[in-house]
Amino acid sequence: MREACKGGRGMFATVLYKIGYVWAADIFCKKFLGAFAIREALFALSLFSSQVLAGIVDRQYPALHIFLVFGGHLMFLGLALLLFGGSKGEKALAVSLFLAAVTLAENFCMSFFSCLALAWLHTWRGILSPVLDGWGTNLMCGASLAIGILAAFWAAGRALPAFHGKAGRYHAVVAVPLFAAVGVMDVANWGAANGILVRSGGNLGPYYDQLFGHAEIGILAAMSMFGAGFYVFGMGRICLEQEKASRYASQVAAYKMLEEQRSQSERLRHDMKNHVIALQSLLEQEEWQKMGGYLEDMAESAGFGDNGELTGDRVVDALLSQKRNLAEARGIAWECDVQIPRQCGLNEFDVCVLFGNLLDNAVEACGRLQEQEGHGDAGCFIHIQANAVKKCFLLEIKNSACMGEGFKVGRSAKGNPGRHGIGLLNVRDVVGKYHGAMELESQDGMFTVSILLPFQDHT
């Protein structure tokens, strides 16, 4: 509620207030969007200058206040679009999220503090018509802004996974209502400052007029905060579930493809008697070339590959063989020792979800490591081990990984962390389905995923 601060603020308090706001806006945008140091400095200097200029004009022409406020928001958006990275939609969403968090939280806190201060002056100091002014108002303004900034960074930490990896339309859909909430709050503040909102008509006096006005702004800010929060995080959750469903559907398609490969192999085995008779006839006639072609046709029809994995499950064998070929084509050392006991009771599709997602992540991690300048192919590896331990199925995958700056266990290092964390979420879903446990560990350039699933009792 900056109108409440305006009358009592000195020049020094005003400058500190604007410095804090610009600093927070710069850090917030850099967290979401990224920028070169020179552009970041230019953004901070330009935004601060526009804020100071707007303050000077506001003091000379108070009637222009609401237009200056909207102009400040547009300047903020324009500078972000011009100087920060990311798509236009991402920039608009970052600016709207910061403005909404700071404006709504700041207004709520300022209204709350003002109500407390008015009640204290009226009740304990005995002032019939108290007026908020002076250093106390400046202090409340500073505290409200600090809480608003903290609210913005709190929201940023939780909105970041849902922010990246979305289409431009998603950012616009989320940003527009946030800008609208900020605009409504600005108009409400302007109305309260000009006596448009709740007034008693002189029946209760200035004290209650101020109290009702501040309370109304506080209630509006609180309702807007809850609405904006549910909307932003709800939209993020909906998009996340859609991404998971899409990823799951692609895994179902891959599973069906593997089933078809297994079916082809079964049909080949069923016809093996006839194939043996044909091959024996070619052998007796010494038709070596025809015999070789016949064998090649058999291998192609069955989808055989060299050194196929033998895990006890043909579908998992086909999946591991596919991932091994992908890894070896990229020069990644492959070591696999997997045995899937029949008594484990795990659904075949769920096992493929585990192996498929974890091995995709491992191959991509090795690929990023290979892309580092001067690293080459040497040293990249994927080690897979899975077997029965007592009455549990233990799966452990180790792979080379880049442990550079910004690496965090369990968080994607790819450009769109909100999108590319879906595979690990699907793995967690499977682990939770079987009441198992998963542990992630990174040490000495090696990333390890360990999963323990109890055997399922179907008796």
Task: Give the torsion sign (CA, 272, 276, 282, 288).
Answer: positive
Domain end among 287, 304, 321 = 304
Predicted pLDDT at 396: 94
Predicted pLDDT at 75: 92
Domain end among 260, 289, 304 = 304
Q: Is 98 a member of any domain?
A: yes
Q: Which two tokens stand for residue 63?
A: 């009637």
Q: Is 265 a member of any domain?
A: no
Environment class of residue 38 by beta-carbon count within 10 Å: exposed (0-12), middle (13-18) or buried (19+)? exposed
Cα angle vertex 319, ends 346, 438, to 5°? 50
Calpha distance 80→43 (Å, rounded): 7
Calpha distance 397→335 (Å, rounded): 10
Predicted pLDDT at 289: 81
Whether residues 204 and 329 fall in one domain: no
Nearest to 3 by CA among 85, 114, 86, 165: 114
Q: What is the dihedral of CA 412, 418, 419, 424, to 10 degrees?
A: 50
Predicted pLDDT at 302: 56
Whether residues 229 and 318 fall in one domain: no
Nearest to 93 by CA among 44, 166, 148: 166
Whether residues 382 and 404 fall in one domain: yes
Q: Which two tokens stand for residue 188?
A: 């409400």
Whether residues 95 and 143 fall in one domain: yes
Full domain range(s) for residue 124: 2-247
Q: Which two tokens stand for residue 256?
A: 């069906």
Predicted pLDDT at 252: 66
Domain total in the chain: 3
Q: Which two tokens stand for residue 150?
A: 């903290």
Q: Is 257 a member of any domain?
A: no
Nearest to 79 by CA among 47, 51, 101, 38: 47
Q: What is the dihedral of CA 313, 316, 322, 325, to 10 degrees?
A: -70
Q: Is 18 a member of any domain?
A: yes
Cα angle vertex 349, ends 395, 435, to 5°? 55
Whether residues 324 and 291 fall in one domain: no
Whether residues 300 and 310 fall in one domain: no
Whether residues 392 and 332 fall in one domain: yes
Predicted pLDDT at 395: 92
Whether residues 148 and 214 fall in one domain: yes
Q: Is 216 a member of any domain?
A: yes
Phi (first) and psi of residue 413, to 5 degrees: -95, 5
Q: Is 87 a member of any domain?
A: yes
**pTM of the predicted protein model:** 0.57
Q: Is 437 a member of any domain?
A: yes
Whether residues 47 and 163 fall in one domain: yes
Could you give the 3-state DSSP secondary structure of residue 332?
Answer: coil
Calpha distance 410→401 (Å, rounded): 13
Residue recorded with tokens 């682990």: 431
Calpha distance 177→193 (Å, rounded): 24
Q: Is 352 a member of any domain?
A: yes
Q: Do the Cβ atoms of 407 and 368 come closer than 8 Å? A: no
Whether residues 275 and 312 fall in one domain: no
- CATH number where 324 lies: 3.30.565.10
Whether residues 299 and 314 fall in one domain: no
Contacts of 51 (CB under 8 A, 6+ apart): 18, 21, 22, 72
Contacts of 172 (CB under 8 A, 6+ apart): 89, 92, 93
Q: Do the Cβ atoms of 114 and 4 come closer than 8 Å? A: yes
Could you give the 3-state DSSP secondary structure of residue 387?
Answer: strand
If phi over 0 gives left and psi between -120 and 50 gives alpha, with beta otherwise, what is residue 398? beta
Predicted pLDDT at 411: 44
Whether residues 294 and 324 fall in one domain: no
Query: pLDDT of the chain along its 459 residues, tens only?
Result: 444 454 444 566 677 788 888 888 888 888 777 767 788 888 889 988 888 888 888 888 888 888 888 988 999 999 988 888 777 888 888 888 899 989 999 889 988 888 888 888 888 877 777 777 767 777 888 888 888 888 888 877 766 655 655 655 777 788 888 899 999 888 888 877 776 655 555 566 677 777 888 888 888 888 988 888 888 777 777 776 666 666 666 566 666 666 666 666 666 666 676 767 777 777 777 778 877 877 777 666 655 544 455 676 777 877 888 888 888 888 889 998 888 887 778 887 788 888 888 998 898 888 888 877 455 555 789 999 998 888 889 999 999 887 654 344 444 444 443 333 566 777 888 888 888 899 998 888 889 999 999 987 654
